[in-house]
A and B are shown apart, each in its own frame.
Chain A
Amino acid sequence: MARSDVRAAGLPRFLRAFALVLVLIFFLFPIAWIFLMSFQSNEQILRIPPHLLFTPTLMNYRALISGKLITAAGSLDLPFMRNLGNSALLSAASVALSLLLGVPAAYAFARFRFRLGENIAFTLLSFRFAPPLLVLLPLSLYFQELGLANTYVGLIWVYQLICLPLILWIVRSYFEDLSPDVEYAYRVDGHSWWRAFTRIAIPLAGPGIAAAGLLAFIFAWNNFVFALILASADKQPVTVGALAFVTASGIQYGQIAAAIVLSILPTLALALYAQRWLVEGLSLGAVKG
């Protein structure tokens, strides 16, 4: 009986691994393909049929990093590294500002009942409903007027539309899951409200804050429309900068692929770093109640 159990368990395990491999192939194939493309020249990429074997070249990366794009029509300046820097600056600053504003707000919404509280929270969420194109025209007019167009401050401000609702609502639900009694216990033990918030509530909601921050960072990083309209060349993030690869002499697939690989790296690194936090959160969660 026991032996047949083992054998019966062995087969599903094999099947499960097989299914896992299929799923991974399905999801990772585009990324792997882009990774391979980034080491090929445009001619190699456009060969029909495509070849899996090729002599890798670093010319795409060299072009991106040096900022000189050599095409059949001549040499072209390419501010890719600057775009990458812009992306990092805009996303990091937006998320930092959103955390600064959103975490205390989320705590307030979770812990206190106040007049119009629910309405304010919902209004903030509704920023996510509105199609960005709808707000862009009036926004860009106002920004011209205010002198905020094509400034980092202006862009970071607009990025709050993306980051703040996300952080607010995710972190709020984390705070709601934490028993306020732990904070009360800390306060009765002789600590002010502010210390209970910073020493107890924030660390306990840490995993939620990390997850929300990571998600907001990815959304901000991938944003295209706001930056397209509101930023000129020297403030553009990679998403907009990638348009430069569509040149008069054709689309530079190799460089696009290399640009994608380079622009994935920061978010990937951040996600891997934040993962430790997320897992730690799961073990902390077991303590509740």
Chain B
Amino acid sequence: MTLALSGLCKTYSGRHGPVVRAVIDLDLDVAAGEIVALLGSSGCGKTSTLRMIAGFERVSEGTITLAGRRIETLAPHLRGVSMAFEGYALYPPLSIAENIGFGLRQSRRFPSREAVMARVAEIAEMLEIGDLLARRPSQLSGGQQQRVSLARALVRDADLHLLDEPMGQLEPQLRAVLRGRVKAALKSAGATAVLVTHDQTEANAMADRIAVMEAGVLQQCGPGSVLREAPANLFVATFIGEPPMNALPALVVPSGLRPLCAEEVTIALPAVPLPAPGSRVVFGVRPHHLDLGAGALRGTVISQQWLGDQAHVVIEFAGHILVAVSHARVSVRIGETIPFGFAETHVHIFDGENGRALAHGVMPA
């Protein structure tokens, strides 16, 4: 393995406020040639983690090992990492070409100025900034500056590339193109990268594994398909996927699940291993796994929207709100009571106390 974070903690001592624990006991391994995304909402500790790896934040506790060396106390320039900054951080007086080539000038692999410039031109071409090389950072738009920052990180032959929200400022279309190209470039170079993002599409598109963080704690790390099909807890289940997973608090009864505050209704789940009757659980099913128009359950339509390629139908079921997604137009009226159901293979059961996953309809292979 190339990068290993072990028991990593970041605590900001609050001299003028409470102590903030930004990262709590983080263990994460990244194999050589692997791309891992740190995914989470703002303030979840993902950027703090990245900056600790780069050496901009002191590590409060724990160790960082990169390519067999303990690096957590080394100065940034001795760690062998490159970084793309969310705020670009370009050198204002230098041209774009000089900005990108800056870190190469020390490299032995590029002894001549021509070799550096050829490499710079190549990477700039890939990121669609080849025609901007003679300009200064102040003459570029935010999206262009961001690509320069990304180019500066990718051009270097580092043990680890750290990418902090590398595409946040780009046009959606360009973003889609560049995700593929950047991933391909990293893969063909056999490069290892840690990517910080709050955009799950970006994480899914670029990363081999996604590490979901919340409140400083790593919730789950795995391929995108595992996060979707077997989320480790309720947070990951509702965080991954759009619209979020339906989560229904329920009580286990002998015949299945009884939604809280609903005396009459029972959801029968004969094939799903449920905890002992009387346990509190949360029943989860993704919106596009709810089948409208057929099934044993009954719900009242509250609203429906056609989004151009899919329909979102909101139904009330036993005092709870459920969202269903259908890729075909559905003809339901607001206020109408309709039957609905789901395949048992698509349900998730979480512990009602701590949110831990107890059972998944589809067990990952």
> Nearest CB to that of A185 among chain B residues?
B89
B317 contacts across to A, CB distance below 8 A: none
Complex CA distance for A184 and B91, rounded to whole angstroms? 11
- A107: shortest Cβ distance to chain B, in Å? 16
Q: Let me know if A289 and B103 touch, CB within 8 A.
A: no
- A177: shortest Cβ distance to chain B, in Å? 13
A204 at interface by CB-CB < 8 Å: yes
- B149: shortest Cβ distance to chain A, in Å? 8
- B91: shortest Cβ distance to chain A, in Å? 7
Chain B interface, number of residues (Cβ within 8 angstroms): 28
* Chain B 65-86: CB-based contact to A (< 8 A → 1; otherwise 0): 0000000000111010111010
Residue from the list B76, B77, B92, B149 in contact with A287, Cβ < 8 A: B92
Residue from the list B55, B75, B156 in contact with A189, Cβ < 8 A: B156
Query: Which of A57-65, A71-79, A190-198, A218-226 lines the interface with chain B?
Result: A190-198
B54 contacts across to A, CB distance below 8 A: 184, 188
Residue from the list B56, B79, B87, B156 in contact with A289, Cβ < 8 A: B87
List B84-103 residues whose CB lies under 8 Å from chain A: 85, 87-93, 102-103
- A122: shortest Cβ distance to chain B, in Å? 15
Q: Let me know if A188 and B87 touch, CB within 8 A.
A: no
Complex CA distance for A193 and B138, rounded to whole angstroms? 25
Whether A187 touches B76, Cβ cut-off 8 Å, given contacts A287-B137, A287-B138, is yes
Residue from the list B81, B91, B138 in contact with A200, Cβ < 8 A: B91
Complex CA distance for A190 and B75, rounded to whole angstroms? 10
List A167-215 residues whose CB lies under 8 Å from chain B: 179-182, 184-193, 200, 203-204
- A234: shortest Cβ distance to chain B, in Å? 46
B147 contacts across to A, CB distance below 8 A: none
B46 at interface by CB-CB < 8 Å: no
Whether A203 touches B93, Cβ cut-off 8 Å, given contacts A187-B77, A188-B81, A192-B77, is yes
> Nearest CB to that of B79 among chain A residues?
A188
List B205-246 residues whose CB lies under 8 Å from chain A: none
Q: Let me know if A185 and B83 touch, CB within 8 A.
A: yes
B79 contacts across to A, CB distance below 8 A: 188
Residue from the list B75, B91, B149 in contact with A187, Cβ < 8 A: B75
> Nearest CB to that of A204 among chain B residues?
B92
B55 contacts across to A, CB distance below 8 A: 187-188
> Nearest CB to that of A189 among chain B residues?
B103
B15 contacts across to A, CB distance below 8 A: 113
B106 at interface by CB-CB < 8 Å: yes
Q: Let me know if B77 and A190 touch, CB within 8 A.
A: yes
Q: Let me know if A184 and B76 touch, CB within 8 A.
A: yes
Chain A interface, number of residues (Cβ within 8 angstroms): 24
A269 at interface by CB-CB < 8 Å: no
B280 contacts across to A, CB distance below 8 A: none
B156 contacts across to A, CB distance below 8 A: 189
- A210: shortest Cβ distance to chain B, in Å? 16
Q: Let me know if A181 and B77 touch, CB within 8 A.
A: no
Q: Let me know if A192 and B85 touch, CB within 8 A.
A: no
A288 contacts across to B, CB distance below 8 A: 92
Q: Let me know if A179 and B89 touch, CB within 8 A.
A: yes
B348 at interface by CB-CB < 8 Å: no
B152 at interface by CB-CB < 8 Å: yes
- A13: shortest Cβ distance to chain B, in Å? 30
* Chain B 150-188: CB-based contact to A (< 8 A → 1; otherwise 0): 001000100000000000000000000000000000000
> Nearest CB to that of A288 among chain B residues?
B92
Whether A184 touches B85, Cβ cut-off 8 Å, given contacts A190-B106, A284-B92, is yes
B90 contacts across to A, CB distance below 8 A: 182, 185, 287
B76 contacts across to A, CB distance below 8 A: 184, 187-188
Q: Let me know if A188 and B83 touch, CB within 8 A.
A: yes
Q: Let me know if A190 and B103 touch, CB within 8 A.
A: yes
Complex CA distance for A212 and B83, rounded to whole angstroms? 34
A188 contacts across to B, CB distance below 8 A: 54-55, 76-77, 79, 81-83, 103
- A174: shortest Cβ distance to chain B, in Å? 14
A15 at interface by CB-CB < 8 Å: no
Q: Let me know if B137 and A181 touch, CB within 8 A.
A: no
A24 at interface by CB-CB < 8 Å: no
Complex CA distance for A181 and B137, rounded to whole angstroms? 15
A286 at interface by CB-CB < 8 Å: yes
> Nearest CB to that of A180 among chain B residues?
B56
Whether A189 touches B102, Cβ cut-off 8 Å, given contacts A184-B56, A184-B83, is yes
- B119: shortest Cβ distance to chain A, in Å? 15
Complex CA distance for A265 and B81, rounded to whole angstroms? 53
Whether A184 touches B138, Cβ cut-off 8 Å, given contacts A190-B77, A190-B103, A192-B75, is no
Complex CA distance for A153 and B103, rounded to whole angstroms? 44
- B174: shortest Cβ distance to chain A, in Å? 21
- A110: shortest Cβ distance to chain B, in Å? 15
B136 contacts across to A, CB distance below 8 A: 287
- 5 additional A-B residue pairs with CB within 8 Å, beyond A182-B92, A188-B103: A184-B76, A187-B76, A189-B77, A189-B103, A189-B156
B residues apposed to A, CB below 8 Å = 15, 54-56, 75-77, 79, 81-83, 85, 87-93, 102-103, 106, 136-138, 149, 152, 156
A residues apposed to B, CB below 8 Å = 113, 179-182, 184-193, 200, 203-204, 283-284, 286-289
Q: List 6 A-B contacts (CB under 8 A).
A: A185-B89, A187-B77, A189-B103, A189-B152, A190-B77, A203-B93
